[in-house]
Structures are given as C-alpha cells and as structure tokens.
Amino acid sequence: MTPLISVIIPIYNVENYLARCLDSVVNQTYANLEIILVNDGTPDGSVAIAEAYQEKDRRIKLIHQENAGLSEARNTGVAAATGDYIAFLDSDDWLELDAYEYLLQLLIAHDADVSIGGIRRTERVVSETSSGNQVEVLTQKEYAQRYFKIGSQEIHYYVWNKLYRRDVVVDVKQPKGLYAEDVPSTFMYILNTSKVVISDKVVYNYFVNLDGLSAKFSNHHFDVLKGWDMVVAQAGQSGDLDYQNWAIFNRKRANFALLTELALSENYSHVMVGNATIVEELAKAIRKDCLTLLKGPMPLNRKPLVLAFALNYRFTAGALNKLLQLKRKG
C-alpha cells in the first residue's frame, strides 16, 4: 500500500503567499498526501484562498481555531494527521515539486526515522535545480552533534525541511507561545529517532522577504533562551551525559548569540533602555562563561568578540552598533 504523507501548514496573515505555497504542494510528484491547513484565526483573506483550493482538491482538510500561535497550529495539525509520515511546511515558503517523493525514497531506502533535504533561501521562485551530490546516514548521536553544532556550524533546528516517521512526531507537543519553538521541538524529535538520512539536494524554499527584512530586535528574541532552557531540561531527562554537556554549552552560547544580535540591530539603543536588567544579566553570564566559550566548539572568528563582550559589553556593542549605523547610512 502506498504510504500516506500528512503535510501540516499553519495559516496566518499569508494571503500574498499562500497560493504559491499550496501550488507547490498540490502539484507534488508524490500524490498520496493529506494536506492539513490550520487556520490560526487569520484576519486576512487567507481562508478564502484555502477554501478555493479545498474545493478543487479533496486531499485538503481545513481546520479552524482561534489564534494560538504557530506551535499550537502545528499541534492541531499533528492531532488531526492520519498519515504514515508527517511533514511541516510554513505557508509563506514553498517546495520543490519532487520534495516528498525524494524524501520518502531516502527514508525508505535507508530505513531511517527522519529524512532531511537542502534549503534554498530566496525571495522569488527560481528555475535552477539541485541534483543532490551527497547523502549521509547518521545515528541519533551523530545527528545530535550537528544539532548542537559540535564540529559543524550548520543550523539544524528547523522542523520544515524534513519528513518524519509518524511515531517520531505524534507524542511531541511543540511549546505554546514560544518564538523559538523549533529549537526544543527538533531536539525532542531527535530523541525519538535511531537513524537520520541527510541530503544536500534542495527540497525546500525558505522565503526571504526583502521588503519586510529588518534588523530590528524585539522582545520575542529573548525566547531563544527559554528554548535552550527546555533543551537543557530535556537533555537532563535523557540520561545521556554528552547531550547534557552539549545542551549546557549551547545555552551559554545562546547568551552570546543573543547579545551579538542585539549589538547588530537597528534599534539597539531603544532595546537597551527597555531591557537594561536582562541585558546586564546576559553580559554577566558572558563574563562568567568566557573561558568555557573560548575553549568550546565555536568558530575562531567569534572568539575575539566573546572576549570583548566579557571585558565590557556596553562599550563593545555600542561601538559596533555605531559603526554599523554609519555603514548603513553611507
């Protein structure tokens, strides 16, 4: 029997992008799909677009809920999914037309729990194709090393460029109301796997909105620390000492990453005024963890900045931000 893939697509304020996303799903070369659209209380015209597609394609299920955020919309979709395999797709992104056929072939051929494809970051649909030159099969721990950036600086937090066996996902609840929901969710999925297969063939197009692109920092960005706190707790419960150590190091690295993002933001001065206490706590944490970060698995070019932040965050970040503002002006 042909396996069924459940594709979960949350919908919120995407009327300008939803048709492109849905076209890429309904036209997949692998046709046995259950397409679950979760209307997360969107106030725009997205629902009308979803209903029009539903009328033309019986594979589409449209679920309505009050606005609860991306994680809860995904949780609603997982609860409704009946597929043998589950995939997530954000509604402003789109797939290569052979994405699920390829990911399913990979997963079955290698008897894996999760298959992962390459990502293209783009502001428009492009016609170039990716042949996929490299396929790797990893154990849970080998993939966890990638997730924790041990020996690699690739980002593996995303939930959406992947195809999962059903049992990897169904018992995991993505954390409600968290801006960095992919960080703890992906680690929980990893703990449910034994084998992961990765290909560099592009299957997923991540939309970069150049019109709306902004270097502004918001309070939501602090959620990444909560996300890593959850990972530290999950790693502790796993009983794996490597996971515990890697999680603790990444939690410390998250402090540095967040302070760097703040220093590079357009609204640095405003954020510093409104969040002086938490910024000072993070700066203290950098001073305390400086040697750990310098000795740990971080890119060499980041380590001078770690040292500068530890010596004087406000001076270093302020000077860096002023240089960037001058560069932006001219």
Q: Tens digits of per-residue pLDDT, 105-124?
A: 999 999 999 999 999 888 77
Residue 75 CB-density burial (10 A; 0-12 exposed, 13-18 middle, 19+ buried): buried
Taking the CA atoms of the chain, what radius of gyration do you get in angstroms?
21
Would you place residue 177 in the very low, low, confident or very high pLDDT band (cuts 50, 70, 90)? Answer: confident
- Tell me how far apart the alpha carbons of residues 317 and 123 are, in angstroms, rounded to a whole number: 30
| pLDDT recorded at residue 158 | 92
pLDDT at 132 over 70: no
Query: Per-residue confidence at 70, pLDDT binned at 50, 70, 90?
Result: very high
Pick the closest to residue 297 from 154, 184, 185 (CA basis).
154
Q: Which domains, ranges and CATH numbers included, belong to the chain?
A: 5-207 (3.90.550.10), 219-329 (no CATH)
Q: Taking 60 as the threshold, does the pLDDT of residue 213 lie above it?
A: no
pLDDT higher than 60, residue 211? no
The pLDDT of residue 180: 85
Q: What angle in degrees, to the nearest 10, is found between the helix axes of 303-329 and 276-295?
A: 130
Mean pLDDT of all residues in 200-207: 93
State mean pLDDT over 248-274: 93
**What residues does 207 pair with on adjacent strands?**
122
Tell whether the model's pLDDT for residue 152 goes beyond 50. Answer: yes
Cβ within 8 Å of residue 262, ≥6 positions away:
217, 221, 268, 271, 272, 279, 317
pLDDT in tens, 21-53: 999 999 999 999 999 999 999 999 999 999 999
| pLDDT given for residue 208 in this prediction | 79
The amino acid sitting at 96 is E
Report the length, in residues, of the chain: 330
Query: Bridge partners of 205?
Result: 94, 120
- Range with lowest mean pLDDT among 2-6, 121-125, 170-174: 121-125
**If pLDDT is split at 50, 70 and 90, which confidence band does 129 have?**
low
In the prediction, which pLDDT does 212 show? Answer: 44
**Lowest mean per-residue pLDDT among 128-132, 221-225, 264-268:** 128-132
Q: What is the C-alpha to C-alpha distance for residues 312 and 298, in angstroms, rounded to an integer? A: 20
d(CA 63, CA 42): 12
pTM given for the model: 0.92
pLDDT of residue 116: 97
First to last CA, the chain: 62
User: What gap in Å lies between CA 244 and CA 233, rounded to an integer?
Assistant: 8
Taking residues 140-167, what's their average pLDDT?
92
The mean of the pLDDT values for the chain is: 93
Residue 256 makes CB contacts below 8 A (sequence gap 6+) with 286, 293, 302, 305, 306, 309
Distances (CA, A) of 49 to 56, 76, 200, 326: 11, 20, 33, 44
Q: Hey, what are 17's tokens?
A: 């992008």
**Ordered alpha helix ranges (H), the chain:** 18-26, 46-56, 70-80, 99-109, 140-147, 166-169, 182-191, 223-238, 241-263, 268-274, 276-295, 303-329
Compute CA 119 distance to the chain's CA centroid, rounded to the nearest angstrom.
11
User: Greater confidence, 132 or 239?
Assistant: 239
pLDDT of residue 127: 63
- The Cα 216–Cα 271 span in angstroms is 9
pLDDT higher than threshold 80 for residue 159 = yes
Q: Which residues of 247-271 are buried (b: 16+ CB within 10 A; e: fewer)?
A: bbbbbbbbbbbbbbebbebebbeeb
Share of the chain above pLDDT 90, in %: 81
pLDDT of 330 > 70? The answer is no
Asked if 206 contacts 120 with a C-beta cutoff of 8 angstroms, the reply is yes
Residue 128 has a pLDDT of 64
- Could you tell me the two tokens for 48? 């009308």
Is the per-residue pLDDT at 278 higher than 50? yes
Which helix H or strand E contains 214, and what residues bound it? none
Residue 28 to residue 22: CA distance in whole angstroms = 10
Residue whose pair of structure tokens reads 């960037």 in the numeric block:
324
Q: Which of 122-126, 164-168, 289-293 has the lowest mean pLDDT?
A: 122-126
pLDDT of 81 > 90? The answer is yes
